[in-house]
Amino acid sequence: MKKISIVVPCYNEQEAIPYFYEEAKKVSETIPNTEFEFLFVNDGSKDNTLNVLRDLSKKDEQVKYISFSRNFGKEAAMYAGLKEASSDYIAIMDADLQDPPSLLPSMFDTLEKGEYDCVATRRVTRKGEPRIRSFFAKLFYKIMNAISNTEVVDGARDFRLMTRQMVNAILEISEYNRFSKGIFGFVGFHTKWLEYENIERVAGKTKWSFWKLLLYSLDGFTAFSTKPLILSTIAGIIFFIISLIMILVIIFKTFIFGDPVGGWPSLACIILFVGGIQLFCTGISGQYLAKTYLEVKHRPIYIVKERNFDV
């Protein structure tokens, strides 16, 4: 008898959870010799999510939940779920059925054969998503893989089934600024990829605005690469060399040709340009400093207010 935990981060998912539960429960019953546990993590929802979870857990003893004291973000919710789950195999799934439970049986079979430690999923299309969002997502994966040694797979979802051993490795990484797509790659292990077409959410609205995604991608860059710091050093060196050449040219022109040095517009442009580059580079250093600052404070990644099981 193998135990499987399904970790489900939920933020304002009152409409989606009943659909998800019904669908996932159905699939779980088709897998023989397994015992399932649904671990919902209520990430400080402002709607009725917590009540929906309380009711579910009363009806079905396989349903467990923990509820945060406020919204800590999906990364914190996933970490909490992995930490509190106690099974042989652990899966992470969104509550909106964008991660099809129908893939679970074949994921389970693959892990049972023992060759793989993890079965992960990626979407090969992004239909139903705004064009501009897909464009920036693609750009993000390109830049990320160019500047980081950790592989981040394009279109990878957080939906994956992992062995206890891999989950323990992930939990060892207890950093505050979590970027799971990178952490999964960092811990390694033998991962099999399943591909599927994008599915639109079953109910409710997406929790990720364009702005939130942009900030999240910056987190990804700083969490898994220090190359931007090198970039700012290189930019500094290039501008230093350019300025040396310009000084020599101007001295040469003044003394040999007696050229009066005119043209304040070009000067204004240069000051603005170089000033911009300087601010950009200071900003990059600031990003790393800020992340370090948050990291050394050792604040908890999440705070639990309520749970329906003992630890």
CB of 125 to ligand UDP, least distance (A): 14
Give me the DSSP letters along the chain. Answer: -EEEEEEEEESS-TTHHHHHHHHHHHHHHHSTTEEEEEEEEE-S-SSSHHHHHHHHHHH-TTEEEEEESS---HHHHHHHHHHH--SSEEEE--TTS-S-GGGHHHHHHHHHHTS-SEEEEEES--TTS-HHHHHHHHHHHHHHHHH-SS---TTEEEEEEEEHHHHHHHHH---SS--HHHHHHHH---EEEEEE-----SSS--S--HHHHHHHHHHHHHHH--HHHHHHHHHHHHHHHHHHHHHHHHHHHHHHH------HHHHHHHHHHHHHHHHHHHHHHHHHHHHHHHHHTT--S--EEEESS--
Residues that bind ligand UDP (CB under 6 A): 9-11, 13, 43, 71, 73-74, 77, 94-96, 98, 201, 206-208
Give the nearest distance from C-beta 201 to ligand UDP in angstroms: 6
Does 121 interact with Mg ion (rule: CB under 5 A)?
A: no
In angstroms, give the least distance from the CB of 159 to ligand UDP.
Answer: 10
Residue 37 binds which entry of Mg ion, ligand UDP, none, with Cβ cut-offs from 5 to 8 Å by kind? none
> Of the candidates 13, 43, 75, 96, which one interacts with Mg ion according to CB under 5 A?
96
| Residue 71 binding partner per list ligand UDP, Mg ion, none, with a CB distance cut-off of 5 to 8 Å that depends on partner kind | ligand UDP
Residue 150 CB, nearest approach to ligand UDP (Å): 21
- 84 versus 96: smaller Cβ distance to Mg ion: 96
Amino acid identity for residue 120 in this structure: A
Q: In the complex with Mg ion, which residue's Cβ is closer, 148 or 180?
A: 180
Q: Which residue, 14 or 117, has its beta carbon nearer to ligand UDP?
A: 14
- Partner touching 95 among ligand UDP, Mg ion, none, CB below 5 to 8 Å by kind: ligand UDP
Which of 28, 45, 98, 191 contacts Mg ion by CB under 5 A?
A: 98
Residue 220 binding result from Mg ion, ligand UDP, none, given CB thresholds of 5 to 8 Å by partner type = none
Residues 179-208 as x/- pattern, contact with Mg ion by CB under 5 A: ----------------------x-------
Nearest to 76 by CA among 107, 120, 111, 44: 44
Give least dist CB 153 to ligand UDP, A.
16
Q: How far is the CB of 71 from ligand UDP (least distance, A)?
A: 5
Of the two residues 199 and 304, which places its CB atom closer to Mg ion in the complex? 199
How far apart are alpha carbons 108 and 161 in whole angstroms? 8
Binding region for Mg ion (CB under 5 A): 94, 96, 98, 201
